[in-house]
Amino acid sequence: MEYSFNVYNSLAQSGEVLALKKILPEINHPPVIVCIGSDLSVGDSLGPVTGTKLKEKLKGLNVYVYGTLAKPITAHEVKYTNQFIKNTHPDSTVIAIDAAVGVAGDIGLIRVAKRGLKPGSGANKRLAKVGDVSVMGIVAEKSLFNYSLFSATRLNVVYKMAEIIAEGVATFIIEAMQSAALRARTDMVLSSLHA
């Protein structure tokens, strides 16, 4: 199950929210968001920029965001991060966010999928899968020289994509948490009526 939205489509953000609702109809434990990337390259900064925006939007909520501009999670930290999340948040759903490469016509697409992502696969790195759900922004064309293309990526595309992804994920999480709280209150009322 995969959904794609163009960053220049005015409905991309609401489409992202609907896709996440379809993939994750219920959230019963505090969600974990892992934003992968580095602030050393514009093309690879989608994760940390999105993570920074999500931290602001979800401040004060019982949500865990890892990978920001202040504390990025690069491909090198992925194996440690996976183990940390498994130990610290064993029952939580993990949403992984990262930049990706694709064919020229896919640049600017935001892909939401019901599977984890493999960071660094565009650069032929073999790293562990991250997350239960992935949100990827295609920022450059796949080629043998990905690093140079990643550094030639326009900051405007990355920033706009980060804004849409962060707003969509934050909206989804806030609505999912409100639904979970409402279900819990309803269950409490129903159980007190039957007591």
Q: How far apart, in Å, do the first and last CA atoms of the chain sit?
A: 42
Q: Which residues contact 58 (CB under 8 A, 6 or more apart)?
A: 65, 170, 173, 174
Please determine, for residue 63, whether its predicted confidence score (pLDDT) is greater than 70.
yes
pLDDT of residue 151: 60
Cα(97)–Cα(100) distance, rounded to whole angstroms? 10
What Å distances lie between residue 151 and 40, 105, 119, 136, CA to CA?
A: 9, 19, 17, 18
pLDDT reading at 13 higher than 80: yes
Task: Please determine, for residue 104, whether its predicted confidence score (pLDDT) is greater than 90.
Answer: no
